[in-house]
Amino acid sequence: MSLHLVGIVELIWLSNPKSQFMKYSKHILLVLSFLLNVQLANSIVFTSTTGGDWNLGTTWDKTGCGAGCTEGVDFPGAGDDVVVKNGISVTIKIGSAKCRDIQLGSNSAPNQGNGTIRFNADSKLTATGDLTFGDTPRNGSLDMAAGGEFTCATWSGTKGSFTYGIGQVEFTGTFSFQNNPIYDEYYDLKINGGTVSMARATIVNRNLTLESGTFDCSNKPLTVRGNWNNTGGSFTEGAAGNSKVIFDGGNSQILSAVSGESFFNVILNKSANELTLNDDMELAGTLTMTAGNVNINGSTMEIGVDVSTPGALSFTSGILHGGTLKRWYAAGSISGDLGLFPIGITSAYRPVQITTTTDLTTGGSISATHTDALAATDVSINDGGVIIERTHDMFSALALADGIAGGTFDVDVTHSDLSSTGVITDIRVTKDGGVVGTHAAATGTVDNPTAKRTIVALADLGGSWKTGTTDKTNSPLPVVLISFTAELVDNTQVSLVWITASEINNDYFTIERSTNGLTFEEISQVRGSGDSSSETEYEVIDDSPIEGISYYRLKQTDFDGTEEIFKIVAINFEKNSDGSCVLRVFPNPCIGQCTIDLTGCEHNENAEIKVEMIDALGNLVYSKIPYRNFDGSFQFSIDTGNNLKPGVYIVRGTSQTESYSEKIIVK
């Protein structure tokens, strides 16, 4: 709507009656002749007349268009309202579309509608106002089956349908969902302003993003099957704390929260893959582990908040690994799941179970971590007259904090996949290179034992717990690798030597070689010693080593096919030097500046030498004739501006009598 005014504006200024200069009322008449054209704030209402493309004017009938738009040409924009009528489908085909309010259902003439808005995969619709579904039999639908992104402040209505498909819905306003199944399931959901409150159980089939504002579960279950990403929003679960967040499905999931994330109840129920924490997670209520693992990923998972809110664990299966599990305890007894730390590695469950034999007098916290290892170490630890001769290098560590005090404990430590044979009665558990409490008979198998100590004082609970054997001959624990080395022989061969302290069920060793330390090829196999408790030395000669830096890896295979990979060693083989010097490029790989160094010239060669760098396609990318010192050496830097593209290069130095080359990787 436009307002046109033509006329006179008369401004009257009454003088101060007490003024010495103006004794009488006066007025100043200011006459302005002008044309005022004011576009009022009323938005245009675009009502669909035919199905088709949102961005075509022929799709819409415009109410209130006036002089500001053209019928059959213009389409909705920011600030305009939209009604999609009965039986009509409007599609956001590509790019970004904008409007204010959207109405997908109404009984109010002339805007009756129960049409559909559809999204294509690369499309986006931003509504600065509200989306209203129908509240009568005349309702509408929002269809994101093909994808796309839809943003609005709020949406409401009791009728209609929403197809979440593979699209993203973003809310920017404050509102409460009605108890209606139209909006209880999403693909990607983003909260970006205001407070969005749930009214029923909600499922996010992929990613939940909290960018700003608040997402309130209102004591209803929230299931997330993709990533949880909180970059600046907040999440609440309702005053009663009866809600639960469920991480399930078979996808890999990541939880990220700039300040960590706090929950009340969490259920882990994953059929495959695992949940990875990029930040800390705190639970005031119960962690229910039905299935699946959590990679704590260097962060802390905390069950409980303090001694008055210690939280709980309900365990069926799963592993917490890669970080710290912290549990809070009130004064009193501990047993069952309350004392369970379900830790380990991705592929192996290695829990610690603590049970009080006398109660805690003061509450506090106990944290647990697990560190994996493959080898074992010979020791001599006196355990009540019995000598523990060897301990496995893997360990589970407990740490006490927050004022916890009093009590004595039974401690059960399970360490699996020890690759050991023998008898279970030889297995014991040690702590920090000694023993505490009293030994109790281990259970399980020698390969997967649960070793036990009883009557352990709280002060002795903290530390590193390792599995040991009292008979390293008959129950030796795993193949123990003492050393693995690589040495050049006459600058033509590489000698690979390794020494084992003991072997169990060992079929053979494999030597593998690599040019990059990532992809390996087999070059030799050596028969193992089966079962051995004595030191054994092995050697393999590589008669055709790779020029430049190469990597060697030792792998061991049991008779049952189980494999174990040991350390990697590297060696630099200068094969193609026709002169007496040694050419080196370092660091290798280069990240930014590389240094080229020529040293060790036995005959003091000092002829002019050209240094070139060639890429993988044979193109010359660098050339220089450096100044040589009196002993023939030189050193200089290249790519100081970090301009070389990442890839493999050959650095070559040549003169009339010399030839040197070195392969390098630029990152």
Is 541 in contact with 552 (CB distance < 8 Å)?
no
Residue 338: per-residue pLDDT:
98
Residue 73's pLDDT is: 78
Kindly state whether residue 225 falls inside one of the protein's structural domains: yes
Which tokens belong to 316? 């069926």
Tokens of residue 550, six digits? 């190469």
Listed residues 414, 446, 472: the one ending a domain:
472
Q: Is residue 606 part of a domain?
A: yes
What backbone phi and psi angles, to 5 degrees, belong to 106? -165, 150
Asked if 314 contacts 343 with a C-beta cutoff of 8 angstroms, the reply is no
Structure tokens at 131: 């989306």
**Which CATH number covers residue 485?**
2.60.40.10
Q: Which two tokens mark 350? A: 């290695």
346 plus 441 within the same structural domain: yes
Tell whether 463 and 487 lie within a shared domain. no
Q: Which residues contact 459 (CB under 8 A, 6 or more apart)?
A: none
Shared domain check, 435 and 388: yes
Q: In this predicted structure, what is the pLDDT of residue 660?
A: 81
User: What does the alpha-carbon distance between residue 471 and residue 113 come to, in Å, rounded to a whole number?
Assistant: 83
**518 near 496, Cβ under 8 Å?**
no
How many domains in the chain? 4
**E-state strands within 185-342:** 185-186, 188-197, 202-204, 208-216, 222-224, 228-230, 234-236, 245-249, 253-257, 261-263, 266-277, 281-283, 286-295, 300-303, 312-315, 320-321, 324-329, 340-341
- Domain span at 338: 334-472
3-state per-residue secondary structure call for 12-64: CCCCCCCCCCCCCCCCCCCCCCCCEEEECCCCCEEEECCCEECCCHHHEEEEC
Give the pLDDT score at 386: 97
- Give the dihedral sign, CA 332/337/343/344: positive
Closest CA to 187 of 201, 207, 202: 207
Q: What is the tally of helices (H) and strands (E) in the chain?
A: 0, 61
* DSSP string over 536-597: EEEEEEESSPPSEEEEEEEEEEETTS-EEEEEEEEEEE-----SSSEEEEESSSBSS-EEEE
What's the pLDDT at 310? 96
In a domain, residue 248? The reply is yes
506 and 463, same structural domain? no
| Element holding 5 (H helix, E strand) | strand 2-5
In a domain, 133, yes or no: no
User: Going along 480-547, which residue ranges are E strands?
Assistant: 480-489, 493-514, 521-532, 536-542
Identify the pLDDT of residue 38: 32
Shared domain check, 399 and 285: no
CB neighbours of 490 closer than 8 A, spacing ≥ 6?
Answer: none
Residue 497 lies inside a defined structural domain of this protein: yes
Closest CA to 568 of 610, 621, 524, 514: 514
Give the residue among 480, 479, 475 at the shortest CA–CA distance from 451: 475
Whether residue 305 sits in one domain with residue 178: yes
Cα dihedral across residues 353, 354, 355, 357: positive or negative: positive
Same domain, 179 and 312: yes
Instruction: Tell me how far apart the 2 most distant CA atoms of the chain are, in Å.
Output: 124
- Quote the pLDDT of residue 410: 98
* Residue 248, CA atoms < 13 Å, CB-side half-sphere: 15
pLDDT of residue 467: 97
Are residues 273 and 369 both part of a single domain? no
The residue among 407, 400, 378 whose CA lies nearest residue 391 is 378
In a shared domain, residues 449 and 510: no
φ/ψ of 352, rounded to 5, equals -120, 130
> Residue 123 pairs with which residues in a beta bridge?
95
Note whether residue 614 is domain-resident: yes
Kindly tell me the sign of the dihedral angle through the C-alpha atoms of 588, 589, 591, 596.
positive
* Residue 180 vs residues 2, 133, 177, 185, 360: alpha-carbon distances, Å: 42, 11, 8, 11, 49
Measured between alpha carbons, how far is 103 from 81 in angstroms, rounded to an integer? 8
610 in a structural domain: yes
- Asked if residue 24 belongs to a domain, the reply is no
Same domain, 540 and 624: no
Q: What are the average pLDDT values for consecutive 10-residue runs of the chain, which has 667 residues?
A: 32 40 35 30 76 89 68 83 86 91 67 76 92 68 91 81 90 80 83 90 95 92 96 84 88 95 96 96 96 97 97 97 98 98 96 98 98 87 96 95 98 89 92 97 94 98 96 76 85 88 85 88 92 85 84 90 84 66 84 82 73 83 86 82 82 80 84
Domain closes at, from 267, 287, 318: 318
Q: Is there a single domain that holds both residue 188 and residue 263?
A: yes
Q: Are residues 177 and 314 in the same domain?
A: yes
Tokens coding 75: 């389409």
Domain endpoint, select from 439, 472, 505: 472
* Distance of alpha carbon 282 from alpha carbon 327, whole angstroms: 10
